């Protein structure tokens, strides 16, 4: 059985859920081999083993974190050349897609981004045009390189050896051309990652102001959800840009997407249409988002949302 | 500074977008074409940098005849000239091939800085800028929410989940921009008139020294096997709030085992 390389998405060894989803998908395609680049492998080891990594390639050279994207490409390219894997799976994050793209050029292969499923023979399912069309696609030359959207598979535990193998690469001058000199972290609370969250609560223009986003945040916290926003809300400066959902923002596909005060413009729908369950609160019964809602309430979000928050707290207590 | 800005024409999100049932490529002819929105921010940033450094801006587009409309719009915003990679053998190109053609065109025209949007609204791949950096062996300064050039030194803020990274490099370099970087200008009447006289050079595959066999649908490294319209979502329940809207949602979530 051929190896399927899975690039581990992590922050100092804290492994993101999407990695476990990728390992689960990789098991259908061959033998999962995780590729861990960076520091903190000790923290990651047991969870990678638990979710089925038969092998883990570890590239821990500190230099790898100093440059934009290219070092991870170098690590994967050397593994592709040496191990001839059956394919490479990466998360559909900003970095994941860029790594995949450069890797495809470097090893002479094709790349598919934003798969929502990967089946036997590396046939990939994609949801395009804002969710309107389902496409089955495949790579037909070279090793298949595929990025997969978070929440595309339910992670399943399948304990394996996670046999560790150190990898070291020599970076070329081109790999070192863009140097990271500083990392600026904006304050981030305890909420889950927007792209990965299984529940997202989003607010739009109907929220009315930046301060009023507290209503959205309170519900999100009661549900253990991430907060999202429409472009009208981010453009108004009510909520930071990186939380924007839609065509020019994030694409999310959570179990539950709850939208309050969002009309449902096509550009917004492009980023949330594939959510499993959609709940909408809007005072205008004609708001287009109701068309794709599984459950909707026509009403004032300033009444409905706080009541829901209280109700959630009560039922969870 | 000699800046090249990569501009893609995409089908307008408002028009019906579909794949051609024949060759399973994007049906570009039947939809209205517009400049990919993020590329307008790339054009704006290029114009600003050129104004600040006394440079020129060249628009680079690969696409069918129709893409000329978008080239003219970019010129009317203030770009100086344009290069249109136009060749029927490129129809159906995937990202690997598009990046090869754009890289070849960039080599031919020469540049100090390449500026792109960070994502196109049709393909939504966000890979072409990184692929160009790879092909050209240049620094990748992508997802920039701020760009500063000082002589041959370039610094950007690379937007990330946690905030941003500060990234430094030396020109020439490849930059892609995110939408919060600036506010794109509208073409002025004078700009629209002036654009009509600006030079647009057409390059074919032969001019770029690319082998035809590697290009277009036949040589693509990926293929669409089949496609189907997404099944419509089942119509849900919509109720009017009578003071118990929040409770009703909680009941619904409980019935779905979400709560
Ligand atoms: C090229 C392009 C790209 C775009 N990309 C994106 C994108 O990525 N993401 C995105 O979101 N948008 C995007 N947009 C913008 C999009 O077209 C809409 O303008 C935007 O989504 C509207 O946001 P909204 O629904 O919050 O605001 P509105 O459309 O103004 O809707 C506000 C809604 O709130 C309701 N409301 C008001 N008060 C209350 C209340 N008290 N209680 C309950 N309901 C209330 C109103 O009835 C209304 O339906 C893009 C547009 C373009 C042209
Ligand atoms: N055919 C093309 N012609 C010119 N620029 C392009 C083309 N395709 C992609 N680009 C550039 O690459 C960026 C990212 O595109 P993509 O990787 O397809 O999402 C776009 O915003 C454009 O700046």
Query: How far does the centroid of ligand 2 lie from the alpha carbon of residue A44, in Å?
Result: 36
Share of chain A above pLDDT 70, in %: 99
Asked if residue A226 lies in contact with residue A239, where contact means CB atoms within 8 angstroms, the answer is no
Report which ligand 2 atom has the smallest distance to the Cα of B127: 17
How many whole angstroms separate alpha carbon A242 and alpha carbon B163? 8
Mean pLDDT of B116-127: 91
Residue A127 covered by a domain: yes
Q: Strands, E, within B140-247: which ranges?
A: 140-150, 153-160, 163-170, 173-177, 200-203, 222-229, 237-240
Instruction: Determine which residue's CA is closest to atom 9 belonging to ligand 1.
Output: A246
Q: To test ligand 1's pocket by mutation, which of A230, A264, A280 has the most ligand atoms within 8 angstroms of CB? A: A230
* Secondary structure (3-state) at B95: helix
pLDDT of residue B9: 96
CA A263 to ligand 1 center in whole angstroms: 5
To the nearest whole number, what is the mean pLDDT of chain A? 95
Give domain status of residue A202, yes or no.
yes
Residue A17 sits in the same domain as residue A89: yes
Using an 8 Å CB-CB cutoff, list chain B residues near A178. 133, 139-141, 167-169, 173
CA B105 to ligand 1 center in whole angstroms: 39
Lowest mean pLDDT among A312-316, B42-46, B122-126: B122-126
Nearest CA in chain B to A224: B259
- For residue B123, is pLDDT > 90? no
Rounded mean pLDDT, A39-54: 97
| Domain CATH code at residue A256 | 3.40.50.1220
Q: How many residues does chain B have?
A: 259
A54 shares its domain with A160: yes
CB-CB neighbors (< 8 A) of B170 in chain A: 177
Q: Give mean pLDDT, residues B122-128.
A: 90
Identify the residue whose C-alpha is closest to ligand 1 atom 14.
Answer: A267
Q: How many domains does chain A have?
A: 2
C-alpha–C-alpha distance, residues B192 and B216, integer Å: 33
CB contact at 8 A, A130 and B140: no
A92-97: average pLDDT? 96
Span from the CA of B14 to the centroid of ligand 1 (angstroms):
15
Q: Which residues on chain A are in Cβ contact (under 8 Å) with B97?
A: none
Is there a domain that residue A74 lies in?
yes
* Residue bearing tokens 């069309």: A133
Give yes or no: residues A96 and A14 share one domain.
yes
Predicted TM-score (pTM) of the model is: 0.92
pLDDT in tens, B184-242: 999 999 999 999 999 999 999 999 998 877 787 888 889 999 999 888 888 899 999 99
Predicted confidence band of residue A212 (pLDDT cuts 50, 70, 90): very high
Location of structure tokens 């009941």: B251
The secondary structure of chain B in percent helix, strand, coil, rounded to multiples of 5, reads 35, 30, 35
Is the pLDDT confidence value at A264 over 70? yes
B236-249: pLDDT as tens digits: 999 999 999 999 99
pLDDT of A214 > 70? The answer is yes
Residues of B in contact with A199 (CB under 8 A): 258
Whether residues A33 and A100 share a domain: the answer is yes
8 Å CB contact of B246 and A184 = no
Q: What range defines the domain where residue A267 resides? A: 194-316
Contact list, A109 vs chain B (CB under 8 Å): 221
Same domain, A204 and A137: no
H, E, C per residue of chain A:
CCEEEEECCEECCEECHHHHHHHHHHHHHCEEEEEEECCCHHHHHHHHHHCCCCEEEEECCHHHHHECCHHHHHHHHHHHHHHCCCEEEEECCHHHHHHHHHHHHHHCCCEEEEEEEEEHHHEEEEEECCCCEEEEEEECCCCCEEEECCCCCCCCCCCCCCEEEECCCCCCCCCCCCEEEEEEECCCCCCCCCCCCCEEEEECHHHCCCCCHHHHHHHHHHHCCEEEECHHHHHCCCCCHHHEECCCCECCCCCEEEEECCCCCHHHHCCCCCCCEEEEEECCCCCHHHHHCCEEEECCHHHHHHHHHHHHHHHHC
**Same domain for A241 and A131?**
no
Does residue A212 line the site of ligand 1, with CB under 6 A?
no
Domain presence at residue A184: no
The stretch A138-155 carries a mean pLDDT of 95
| Distance from Cα B6 to the centre of ligand 2, integer Å | 6
My answer on whether A152 and A210 are in the same domain is: no
State pLDDT tens for residues B48-94.
999 999 999 999 999 999 999 999 999 999 999 999 999 999 998 99
Task: Express as a percent the part of chain A with pLDDT over 90.
Answer: 91
When pLDDT is cut at 50, 70 and 90, the band that residue A188 belongs to is low
Q: Is B236 close to A293, i.e. CB distance below 8 A?
A: yes
Half-sphere exposure of A159 (CA within 13 A, CB side): 1
**Quick one: A240 and A127 in the same domain?**
no
pLDDT in tens, A274-283: 899 999 999 9
- CA–CA separation, B27 and A257 (whole Å): 31
pLDDT at A27 over 70: yes
Q: What is the CATH number of domain B2-219?
A: 3.40.50.620
The DSSP bridge partners found for residue A179 are A67, B168
Region B24-29: mean pLDDT is 82
Give the three-state DSSP class for B214. helix
pLDDT at B30 over 80: no
- Evaluate whether residue A178 is within a structural domain: no
Residues in chain A: 317
Contact B134 A102 (CB under 8 A): yes
Look at residue A312 and tell me if it is in a domain.
Answer: yes
B99 with A140: Cβ contact below 8 A: no
Mean pLDDT over the full length of chain B: 94
Cα torsion A249, A252, A257, A262 to 10°: value is 20
Phi, psi (degrees; rounded to nearest 5) at B231: -60, 135
Quote the CA–CA distance of B102 and B62 in Å, as a whole number: 7
CA distance B197 to chain A (A): 33
Please report the sign of the dihedral spanned by the C-alpha atoms of residue B224, residue B178, residue A179, residue A60: negative
Please report which ligand is nearest the Cα atom of A104: 2
Averaged pLDDT for residues A1-20: 96
Are residues A84 and A200 located together in one domain of the fold?
no
Query: A108 and A201: one domain?
Result: no
Nearest chain B residue to A255 by CA distance is B258
Ligand lying nearest the CA atom of residue B124: 2
Q: How many Å apart are CA B231 and CA B19, to the nearest integer? A: 16
Same domain for A133 and A34: yes
Phi, psi for A72 (deg, rounded to 5): -70, -35
> Which of B162, B173, B254 is the best substitution to test chain A (most A C-beta atoms within 10 A)?
B162
The vertex-B68 CA angle with B97 and B224, nearest 5°, equals 35
Q: Is the pLDDT of residue B15 over 90?
A: no
Give the residue-averaged pLDDT of A146-173.
96
* Domain identity same for A81 and A217: no
Taking the alpha carbons of A266, A272, A278, A284 in that order, is the dihedral positive or negative? negative
Contacts of A139 (CB under 8 A, 6+ apart): A109, A110, A111, A112, A122, A145, A146, B221, B222
Percent of chain B with pLDDT over 90: 78
Which one of B11-15, B21-25, B76-80 scores highest in mean pLDDT? B76-80
ipTM of model: 0.91
Q: Strand pairing partners for A226?
A: A200
A288 lines ligand 1 (CB under 6 A): no
């Amino acid at each position: 059985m051929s190896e399927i390389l899975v690039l581990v998405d992590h922050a100092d060894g804290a492994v993101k859920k999407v990695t476990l989803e990728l390992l689960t998908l990789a098991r259908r395609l061959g033998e999962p081999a995780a590729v861990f680049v960076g520091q903190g492998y000790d923290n990651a080891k047991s969870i990678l083993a638990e979710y089925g990594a038969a092998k883990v390639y570890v590239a821990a050279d500190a230099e790898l974190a100093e440059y934009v994207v290219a070092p991870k490409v170098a690590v994967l390219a050397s593994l592709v050349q040496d191990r001839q894997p059956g394919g490479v799976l990466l998360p559909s994050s900003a970095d994941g897609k860029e790594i995949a793209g450069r890797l495809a050029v470097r090893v002479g292969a094709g790349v598919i981004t934003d798969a929502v499923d990967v089946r036997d023979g590396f046939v990939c399912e994609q949801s395009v045009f804002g969710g309107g069309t389902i496409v089955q696609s495949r790579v037909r030359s070279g090793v298949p390189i595929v990025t997969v959207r978070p929440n595309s598979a339910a992670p399943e535990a399948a304990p394996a050896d996670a046999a560790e193998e150190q990898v070291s690469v020599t970076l070329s001058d081109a790999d070192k051309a863009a140097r990271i000199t500083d990392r600026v972290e904006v304050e981030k609370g305890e909420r889950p990652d927007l792209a990965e969250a299984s529940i997202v609560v989003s607010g739009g223009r109907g929220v009315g102001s930046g301060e009023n986003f507290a209503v959205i945040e309170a519900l999100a916290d009661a549900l253990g959800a991430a907060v999202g926003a429409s472009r009208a809300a981010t453009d108004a400066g009510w909520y930071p840009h990186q939380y924007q959902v839609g065509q020019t923002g994030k694409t999310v596909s959570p179990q539950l997407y709850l939208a309050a005060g969002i009309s449902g413009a096509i550009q917004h729908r492009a980023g949330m249409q594939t959510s499993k369950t959609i709940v909408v609160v809007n005072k205008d019964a004609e708001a287009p988002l109701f068309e794709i809602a599984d459950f909707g309430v026509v009403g004032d979000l300033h009444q409905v949302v706080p009541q829901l928050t209280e109700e959630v707290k009560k039922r969870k207590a | 500074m000699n800046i090249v800005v990569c501009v893609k024409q995409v089908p307008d999100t408002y028009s019906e977008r579909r794949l051609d049932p024949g060759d399973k490529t994007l049906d570009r002819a039947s939809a209205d074409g517009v400049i990919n929105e993020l590329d307008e921010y790339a054009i704006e940033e290029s114009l600003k940098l050129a104004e600040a450094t006394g440079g020129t801006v060249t628009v680079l587009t690969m696409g069918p005849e129709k893409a000329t409309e978008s080239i003219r719009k970019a010129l009317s915003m203030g770009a100086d000239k344009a290069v249109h990679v136009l060749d029927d053998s490129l129809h159906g190109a995937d990202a690997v091939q598009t990046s090869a053609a754009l890289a070849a065109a960039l080599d031919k025209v020469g540049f100090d800085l390449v500026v792109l949007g960070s994502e196109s609204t049709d393909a939504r791949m966000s890979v072409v800028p990184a692929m160009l950096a790879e092909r050209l062996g240049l620094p990748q300064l992508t997802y920039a929410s701020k760009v500063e050039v000082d002589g041959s030194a370039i610094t950007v803020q690379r937007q990330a989940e946690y905030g941003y990274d500060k990234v430094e490099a030396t020109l020439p370099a490849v930059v892609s921009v995110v939408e919060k970087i600036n506010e794109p200008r509208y073409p002025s009447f004078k700009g629209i008139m002036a654009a009509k006289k600006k030079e647009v050079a057409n390059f074919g595959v032969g001019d770029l020294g690319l082998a035809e066999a590697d290009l277009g649908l036949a040589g693509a490294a990926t293929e669409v096997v089949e496609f189907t319209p997404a099944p419509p979502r089942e119509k849900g329940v919509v109720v009017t709030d009578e003071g118990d809207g929040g409770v009703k949602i909680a009941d619904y979530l409980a019935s779905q085992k979400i709560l």
